[in-house]
Amino acid sequence: MPTIEVSMKSLEKLSGRRLREEDLELAKGKIEEINAGKARIEIGDTNRPDLWCAEGIARVVKGKRFQKLPAKSSGKEIIVDRKILSIRPFISGFAAKNIMVDEELLLDMIQLQDKLGENFGKKRKKISVGIYNYDMIKFPVHYKAVNPSYRFVPLGFDKPATLKDILSEHPKGRDYGYILQNHKLYPLLVDLKDEVLSFPPIINSNYLGKVSAGLRNVMVEVTGTEQKSVLLAANIFAYSLFERGAHIESIISRYPVATKFGKSVQSPYDFSEKMSFGRQKIRDILGIDLKEHEIKSLLERMQYGVSFSGNAVNVAIPPYRNDIMHHADVIEDIAIAYGYENFNELGIDSFTAGSLKGATIFSEKSRRIMTGLGFQEIMSAILSSKNCVCEKMNAESSPIEIENAMSENYSCIRNWVLPNILQCLSKNMHVEFPQKIFELGECVLTDRKSDDGTSTITKMAGAISGNDAGYEDISSCADAFLDGLGFKYRIKTSCHPSFIEGRCGGIYVKEKLAGVVGEVHPKVLNNWRIEKPVAAFEADISFLMKAATSQA
């Protein structure tokens, strides 16, 4: 869970009162320790990046409806170059004026910058944040792609270095250079005078990108690969500085093509997301009757805008939150504001003895076998994208898609596991080879015979990546795996679009297809930008478990 360090004096000043530990429960926070006036607070929610700062915690503790950001236009622009669209396409920015940046605020800003980039931004791959001296920048700013030979003085250095050298010599370059390793051009942010602001997502410049205490006006920008996340991170930072008394002025990002949010996108961005649900839903889920004014008070305490129409509750979601996907999320916030300690306890009306399900026992045995074969287990989200599940795999499958998906990266439910394995390998090209990884997890398939038209099954995939990885290596692992489970099987030569023809086989147990094994096709490896050969197999664990049960 994210842990932040804040000044108790500053937190209480922002909150407007002395704080008790129970006050932090509204912000899902827990004080780990207090030392020299500094509190280490663990935030128990990875889905609430708006709480990863003193201002976010204070906003919840104050318990007032969110105030719409009174942002006026700065008249400034960021011009996005067409070439950057295939590298790191999205950017947003804003100005925060008339704010005294002292040492304490500077540390808080850097901490929020770091938490958003590392946690929410997936180690800066999805988003990263830059902070600058606004008064020194000559607009418009240009966000463009340049050759690795481009030179500037990075933060912490006293002489110019090429972008290529920065990736190998600067500490931040060594930490985050893998993000750009497959690109021939690199992102760069420069102003009208061609002065460098930063080399996102790696490092600021030592001139415009060097910030220190005493500043009155700052510019914050966010770059990334997912536009909504970029805009959300900018909103979080803008509201944070607004809580400190800053005057927020918007900056427009102008794209060469239309994006999901338009061709000219203003930041901070007003998402204006709303949701409605019946009051009966609150009773159904929480088991309590709340009057209209009580619902309004509790929701406003959690920063929602609230109105009523008949029996419907209409809520306006704060523009710095992206975790509200269903009315149950709103009702959970009602429960938090109401106080879990105020719910009446119900007695236990049934007594049962628990035990592991057969599927769990079988899955654990499968994991032990793979671990014994030298594979390391990974765990991925069951949600994926058609790009990962189909296009990059050179496969024509029909995964179940999610209506109104919050993110393009999580717009469908996976129907096989191998894409997750290759995605993991693509992100770990900087790690020592050979690599042997596996994953066992749920997949969802279309099933017209079931009540809801779907069926959930368990599959497992394993892969070896390295200079010498081949069919013989992975087939011997598949043999040991199936033998460990007690199966007799046959491998028949087959064709699969994700594997090399002639180096692929179907795994048959009891004359039924139970999996596939082979060498991954070079086209698929190229789609994932994986440089080493990969041999892999995938097995239907649910089918194998049924087969094991029938032969027992």
**For the domain that residue 441 is a member of, what is the CATH number?**
3.30.930.10
Residues 329 and 381 in one domain: no
* Domain of residue 421, residue span: 358-551
Both tokens of 167, joined, read 């990736």
* pLDDT at site 543: 92
**344 inside domain:** no
- Between the two ends of the chain, the Cα-to-Cα distance in Å is 44
Residues 366 and 505 in one domain: yes
What value, to the nearest 5°, has the Cα angle with vertex 472 and ends 547 and 465? 95
Whether pTM > 0.75 for this model: the answer is: no
Got the DSSP string for 61-125? HHT-PPPPP--EEEEEEEEEPGGGGGTS-EEEEEEEES----HHHHHHHHHHHHHIIIIITTTTT
CA-CA distance, 330 to 324, in Å (whole number)?
Answer: 7
Total domain count for the chain?
4
| pLDDT tens digits in sequence order for the chain, 552 residues long | 778 888 888 888 888 778 776 667 666 677 777 777 787 888 877 888 998 988 988 888 887 777 778 778 999 999 999 999 999 999 999 999 999 899 989 999 999 999 999 999 999 999 999 999 999 999 999 999 999 999 999 998 989 999 999 999 999 999 999 999 889 999 999 999 999 999 999 999 999 999 999 999 999 999 999 999 999 999 999 999 999 999 999 999 999 999 999 999 999 998 888 999 999 999 999 999 999 999 999 999 888 999 999 999 999 999 999 889 899 999 999 998 898 888 888 788 888 888 898 889 999 999 999 999 999 999 999 999 988 888 899 888 788 888 877 777 888 999 999 999 999 999 888 888 899 999 999 999 988 887 778 889 999 999 999 998 999 999 999 999 999 998 988 999 889 999 999 999 999 998 899 999 999 999 999 999 998 999 999 999 999 998 887 765
Residues 218/104, Cβ–Cβ less than 8 Å: no
CA-CA distance, 552 to 549, in Å (whole number)?
Answer: 5
Last residue of a domain, one of 204, 233, 267: 267
Residues 47 and 73 in one domain: no
Domain with 48 in it: what CATH number? 3.30.56.10
Residues 408 and 515 in one domain: yes
Residues 386 and 246 in one domain: no
Residues 125 and 242 in one domain: yes
**349 inside domain:** no
**Which residues, including other chains, have CB under 8 Å from residue 228's CB and lie 6 or more apart?**
260, 261, 322, 406, 407
Both tokens of 159, joined, read 């002489």
**171 inside domain:** yes
**346 inside domain:** no
Both tokens of 23, joined, read 């006050």
**203 inside domain:** yes
Burial class (CB in 10 A: 0-12, 13-18, 19+), 75: exposed
Residues 41 and 80 in one domain: no
Last residue of a domain, one of 211, 238, 267: 267
* pLDDT at site 551: 62
Last residue of a domain, one of 267, 286, 302: 267
Residues 469 and 513 in one domain: yes
CA-CA distance, 399 to 168, in Å (whole number)?
Answer: 40
Amino acid sitting at position 298: L
Residues 182 and 315 in one domain: no
CA-CA distance, 402 to 418, in Å (whole number)?
Answer: 20
CA 552 to chain centroid, in Å, comes to: 43
* pLDDT at site 481: 94
H or E segment at 340?
Answer: none
Residues 105 and 216 in one domain: yes
Residues 166 and 232 in one domain: yes
Residues 143 and 280 in one domain: no
Both tokens of 144, joined, read 């463009």
